[in-house]
Structure 1
Amino acid sequence: MSVATSEVTPPSFGELVRVAARIGCLSFGGPVGQIALMHRELVEDRRWITEAQYLHALNFCHLLPGPEAQQLAIWIGWRLHGLKGGLAAGLLFVLPGALVILALSILYGYAAHLAWFAALFLGIKAAVLAIVVQALLRVAGRALDTPVMRAIALAAFLALFVFDWPFPLVVLGAGLIGTGLAARRPALLNLKPLGAPPPRAPRPWGTTLRAALVGGLLWAAPLVVVVALLGPDHVLARIGLFFAKLAVVTFGGAYAVLAYMAQQAVEGFGWLTPGEMADGLGLAETTPGPLIMVTQYVGYLAAFRSPAPFTPLTAGILGAVLTTWVTFAPCFLWIFALAPWIERLEHAQRLKGGLAAVTAAVVGVIASLSLWFALHLLFARTVPAGLPGLALTLPDPRSLDWRAALLAGLAAWLIFRVRWSLLRVLAASAVGGLVVGQLA
């Protein structure tokens, strides 16, 4: 259905709240599904936003760190009803999924040791592996359209998986390469020529500075309180600091940052095992809201297992709430501070080049994540490759888990050949996990 760009019917604030709540409860399927849902509800069916405005805002949100679907929801609310509209649309987009993930995290914390629960999640983890591979192929098909982009993706994969370079360094390096190429050889990144410059207008420095100051203070306030009361070495302080840092380097979507988060949560802090990290991604895939909501699950378990001076349940809830705050509060900050600049940023060629290179690097990051998940799901043991200067690990073939391999093959067949929806694949894999658990 095509929509004329001039046919716009602004809603009342009450209408915006009702539709935003509906979108928040139905936003399954990751960013692609969420962006499509908002387009259907707000552009096609209700005509609150024009097609041109929607695409313009979506391109703008791709330039920002954090979940682009969440930021698009905030921008739409801001565009329709200013600050209160942005707050309402953004909060309602994330709250349903946050509440569901919190409930599932509490259940997981108490029931993960049960045999039937472990069998159930073996199936979910197998489905997650196939889903991540599907995401890798989709992103690669869109992003790697020049030899330089493919080279950046390969370099990012090798840097992370083989040499164990820090994720922020890989992202920063790719961005700098893209910025330089955009200034000199934009065709290497397949950048389109810039259109007409935006109309001259006063630059909104005052609005941006006020939003950045207030938003930054609100973002940091809970973390400052935790550090002041419990000290910088308490698990809640470590959780807050880690996920606050993660929030500003999450370019390219949730899958891009999951490899770095998994590496730090599992190997750096020891909060989770590799299998539990995959379980969390499975939970996030089955609930509404941004996939990066998996951070709440990690924050809950980390605090749940080191609760002093609180009870495990209280500590876990505090960890989940703090993680959610420092992860998603920056989304509001970016939109309220930078939305007035949207037309100017569309003409920033170097910024677009940096983003294009980061997107290419994200393919390598997701490939690293896919292989990391596969090794820890399919094999009980991995061993260092033993090559000097390399962080490469190899699987022990004798530790192959036939149940996981069978379930991963089933999930891949359902996704790539039968083309089932994500939720149907997860449900079928969970049932398959229970069945093979009984056989084992």
Structure 2
Amino acid sequence: MTTETSTAVDRNASNNSVVAIPFWDACLFWLKLGFISFGGPAGQISIMHQELVEQRRWISERRFLHALNFCMLLPGPEAQQLATYLGWLMHKTWGGIVAGVLFVLPSLFILIGLSWIYITYGESTLIAGLFYGIKPAVTAIVLQAAHRIGSKTLKNRYLWAIGILSFTGLAAFDLPFPLIVASAGIIGIFGGKFAPTSFQSAPHKTTLNANAAPAIIDDHSPTPQHALFRWTKLIKVVAACAVLWILPMAALTYSHGWNSPLTQMGWFFTKAAFLTFGGAYAVLPYVVQGAVGHYGWLSTPQMMDGLALGETTPGPLIMVVAFVGFVGGYTKAVCGPELLFVGGALAACLVTWFTFLPSFLFIFAAGPLIESTHNEISFTAPLTAITAAIVGVILNLTLFFAYHVLYPHGLAEHIDWAACSVAFIAFLALFFFKQKVTTVIVECAILGLVYSQFMHYFH
């Protein structure tokens, strides 16, 4: 038995509850996770399962999956929410805050630095060549996301119909993303009532060696006192999160005005945080509609470059919003023309705050209710329908990106055959050779650099 296990397995005989898993050991783990959490939510969840369930034995397999399946039902990044939930379960509210914050903090600092390099040197031949190859790769990556989610979700004709209607609503009628989500949820409510077997969600599955040592927080450990539901506690959590949202929004409105870029970023990404059913790829169309189309904080090519940067840095993919905030704050000179970097960094931090604050609300407020809602069809059916709609949404995003990559000057101009070739290579690498996303991005970036240098030399 490890030192960590022997310390944490000490129990209070009077109430038979776990004394504590060492808090600072947990802090160090969450910090390490923030720097190594590559590979999207699947990779991040896998790291937590390997470390916390298999190696450290801080929590049992069943309780880990119970928390995971709950987090997968929530809007927002499920891996970050799972870390927050596990930190909260082990060390109360501060444990959840530390786990959730450290999960995204390294990514925020890294993306601020990369965003500054991109916006400052992005027009150089070297950087432009790298991103010329990355953009077609992003198109293939988003298509893979649609396939991955669709293969898990579209299990019957009802869910297929929802996905097709979602795609048609966006591609043919340009319906707002929130309307798509709300419509799918309403369909799911009726589907759960009249065809419940068709709207059941599949739980996440992992495996564990049957001979593994007992976990510190095992299947039979009593629910900690802080995890029991109380109306007073719920009211305090909601009130605290409301204050943490109202204060910065009020300060921004007072100092910059409601229509300023910073204030609108706070409002826009608060709404986005409540619409991220299905992961980061699900909310990207909404971000593109708002940040690119409505507000003009950045362009479509810049959005694709930001997605590539998000894919190659640790942390949840939804951290691409930090790039959106930085570029928007920098180009709009929100702190004045002499403080462009400060404006970009401030916008990135604010966007991250408003995007992730609801995730903490969901965990701290709804965590104690897990037992009463988990696996109830009336609760899961609408979310299953929403996930089916997300498949159509992501497929529409693929076409949107493909259009801007293959026809950068409009349909009236010739197709960019070089970009088309890189996209096809990325497609083969992802679907047939099963390469990692980060590997494909690096390979395509090299192809783009070689091609751009070749064209520059001969012209």
The verdict on a shared fold, with TM-score over 0.5 as the criterion, is yes
CA distances 1:314-368 after superposition (whole Å, capped 9, x unpaired): 2111111110110111111111111111111115321110011011011111101
The structure 2 residue matched to 1:249, chosen from 275, 279, 298, is 275
Contact 2:330–2:341, Cα closer than 8 Å, also in 1:
yes
The structure 2 residue matched to 1:286, chosen from 302, 309, 312, is 312
Q: Aligned partners of 2:143, 2:201: CA distance in 1, in Å?
A: 27
The structure 1 residue matched to 2:85, chosen from 67, 75, 86, is 75
Q: Secondary structure at the match of 1:399?
A: coil
Q: Aligned partners of 1:134, 1:63: CA distance in 2, in Å?
A: 22
Structure 2 equivalent of residue 418 of structure 1: 433
* Structure 1 stretch displaced more, 276-285 or 299-308: 299-308
Alignment of 1:126-275 (within 5 A): 126-190=136-200, 203-275=229-301
Q: Aligned partners of 1:22, 1:59: CA distance in 2, in Å?
A: 24
Q: Which amino acid aligns with 1:322?
A: L
Structure 2 equivalent of residue 391 of structure 1: none
Q: Aligned partners of 2:81, 2:334: CA distance in 1, in Å?
A: 35
Q: Which amino acid aligns with 1:434?
A: L
CA apart distance, 1:216: 1.8
Q: Secondary structure at the match of 2:440?
A: helix
Alignment of 1:49-64 (within 5 A): 49-64=59-74
Contact 1:180–1:350, Cα closer than 8 Å, also in 2:
no
Contact 1:211–1:337, Cα closer than 8 Å, also in 2:
yes
Matched, 1:276 2:302: yes
* Structure 1 stretch displaced more, 418-427 or 97-106: 418-427
Report the TM-score when normalising by structure 1.
Answer: 0.91
Matched, 1:65 2:91: no
* Structure 1 stretch displaced more, 354-363 or 311-320: 311-320
Structure 1 equivalent of residue 395 of structure 2: 367
Q: Aligned partners of 2:418, 2:246: CA distance in 1, in Å?
A: 45
Contact 1:21–1:92, Cα closer than 8 Å, also in 2:
yes
Q: Percent identity?
A: 42
The structure 2 residue matched to 1:307, chosen from 310, 333, 338, is 333
Q: Count residues in correspondence.
A: 414
Q: Which amino acid aligns with 2:356?
A: F
CA apart distance, 1:191: 5.7
Q: Which amino acid aligns with 1:424?
A: T
Structure 2 equivalent of residue 114 of structure 1: 124
CA apart distance, 1:190: 4.0
CA distances 1:358-413 after superposition (whole Å, capped 9, x unpaired): 1101111110111111111111234xxxxxxxxxxxx44x4311221121122122
Structure 2 equivalent of residue 409 of structure 1: 424
Structure 2 equivalent of residue 343 of structure 1: 371
CA apart distance, 1:416: 2.1
Contact 1:379–1:399, Cα closer than 8 Å, also in 2:
yes
Q: Secondary structure at the match of 1:163?
A: coil
Structure 2 equivalent of residue 376 of structure 1: 404
Q: Aligned partners of 1:203, 1:405: CA distance in 2, in Å?
A: 55
Report the TM-score when normalising by structure 2.
Answer: 0.87
The unaligned stretches of length 5 or more in structure 1 are 1-7, 193-198, 383-394
CA 106–202 in structure 1, closer or farther in 2 if over 3 Å, else same:
closer
Structure 1 equivalent of residue 361 of structure 2: 333
* Structure 1 stretch displaced more, 309-318 or 14-23: 309-318
Q: Aligned partners of 1:116, 1:339: CA distance in 2, in Å?
A: 48
CA 205–348 in structure 1, closer or farther in 2 if over 3 Å, else same:
farther
The structure 2 residue matched to 1:101, chosen from 98, 111, 115, is 111
Q: Aligned partners of 1:219, 1:76: CA distance in 2, in Å?
A: 24
Q: Aligned partners of 2:288, 2:334: CA distance in 1, in Å?
A: 24
Q: Secondary structure at the match of 2:82?
A: helix
Query: How large is the Cα RMSD of the aligned pairs?
Result: 1.8
* Structure 1 stretch displaced more, 138-147 or 106-115: 106-115
Contact 2:34–2:107, Cα closer than 8 Å, also in 1:
yes
Q: Aligned partners of 1:332, 1:202: CA distance in 2, in Å?
A: 17
Q: Aligned partners of 1:104, 1:171: CA distance in 2, in Å?
A: 33
Q: Secondary structure at the match of 2:427?
A: helix
Q: Which amino acid aligns with 1:69?
A: A
Q: Aligned partners of 2:228, 2:98: CA distance in 1, in Å?
A: 28
Structure 2 equivalent of residue 430 of structure 1: 445
CA 145–439 in structure 1, closer or farther in 2 if over 3 Å, else same:
same
Q: Aligned partners of 1:204, 1:367: CA distance in 2, in Å?
A: 42
Q: Aligned partners of 1:132, 1:378: CA distance in 2, in Å?
A: 15
Structure 1 equivalent of residue 215 of structure 2: none
CA apart distance, 1:203: 4.7
Q: Aligned partners of 1:202, 1:105: CA distance in 2, in Å?
A: 43
CA apart distance, 1:417: 2.4
CA apart distance, 1:308: 4.7
Matched, 1:319 2:352: no
Contact 1:380–1:399, Cα closer than 8 Å, also in 2:
no
Q: Which amino acid aligns with 1:401?
A: D
Q: Which amino acid aligns with 2:266?
A: G
CA distances 1:171-222 after superposition (whole Å, capped 9, x unpaired): 0110111011112220232468xxxxxx9x9852221111111012113321
